[in-house]
Every structure is written in C-alpha cells, then in structure tokens.
Copies of this chain bind each other. A is one copy, B any other.
Amino acid sequence: MATKTVATEKRYRIGEFAAKTGLSGPTLRYYEKEGLVKPHRSDNGLRYYTDADASWIKFLLHLKGTGMTIEQLKQYVAWRAEGDATITKRLQLLKNVRRGFLQKFEELQHSMTILNDKIDWYQGKVDGHISDSEGFANYLASLNHEE
C-alpha cells in the first residue's frame, strides 16, 4: 500500500505571522474582528495563517496605503465574498480610491517642493550663499514656486 503524502502548506501562528506581515498580534485580531482576514484554527484551537493569508494582508495594506479606510476595506471584502456579481462595484470603488489618491499625491508633490525649497534656503543661509536678510518668500519667488 503506497503512503499518500500530502503537501502541507506552512502554518504560521499569530506571533510568527505578525513578524512576517509587520503587524502586531492585537492588530491581526482587530482586523479579524473587522472581517478583513479570516485565519484558520488548528485542532488545539489556536489561529494559524498561511502564505496565501500573507499575500492577502499585503494587498490589503497596499489598499490601505492608498488611503482606503478600514470601513472601505470592509465593504470591499464584503463584496468580494458575494462573488463575481459585485465585480463592477469593486472596480468602481477602487477607481474612486484612485481618484482620491491621485489628488492627494499631487498635493504631496507640491508640499515636497516647498519642503525642498525651504531646506535649500536654510542650507544657503548656513553656507552663506543667501544673505541674512533675504526672506523665504523672496527666495520662493526667485524659483518661480508658489506659497
């Protein structure tokens, strides 16, 4: 009789999985309570997570990183659970998220410009390239940057 070998996927308990994903144990339980992730349970009742769960969490964190709130993620997850019928809704949601994100992104770039200008201005003062009396507004104007 041949022995059947089952390729068993790696099981991560919450501590190991927390380290793997960069989240804390409590945060993982919190996400579970919110329905964002559904870990499995081994015979002894302890949670375990798989590599597939890790990919899922990473994807969620990317969505979160673009500005989606936990509530929006919950909505997304709920639609996902409903199956293909909700694909257009999910697509629409993600497109809305992207619109908001692009808007925020432009503001970030502008803020970055101002921050860089200010750093250059301070650096100029420190290095003596900019006169003691030249104000930042003047300096910005000289760069054709606003605000």
Q: Which residues of A contact B (CB under 8 A)?
A: 55, 58-59, 62-63, 65-66, 84, 87-88, 90-91, 94-95, 97-98, 101, 105, 107-108, 110-112, 114-116, 118-119, 122-123, 125-126, 132, 136-137, 147
Contact = CB atoms under 8 A, between A and B. Distances in A.
Chain A at the B interface: SS class: helix
Contact of A118 (B94, B108, B137): B94
B115 A66 contact: yes
The number of times this chain is found in the oligomer is 2
14 contacts: A63-B115, A65-B108, A66-B108, A66-B111, A84-B132, A88-B126, A91-B123, A94-B115, A94-B122, A95-B119, A98-B112, A101-B115, A105-B112, A108-B108
A48 to B, nearest CB: 20
Contact of A122 (B90, B108, B122): B90
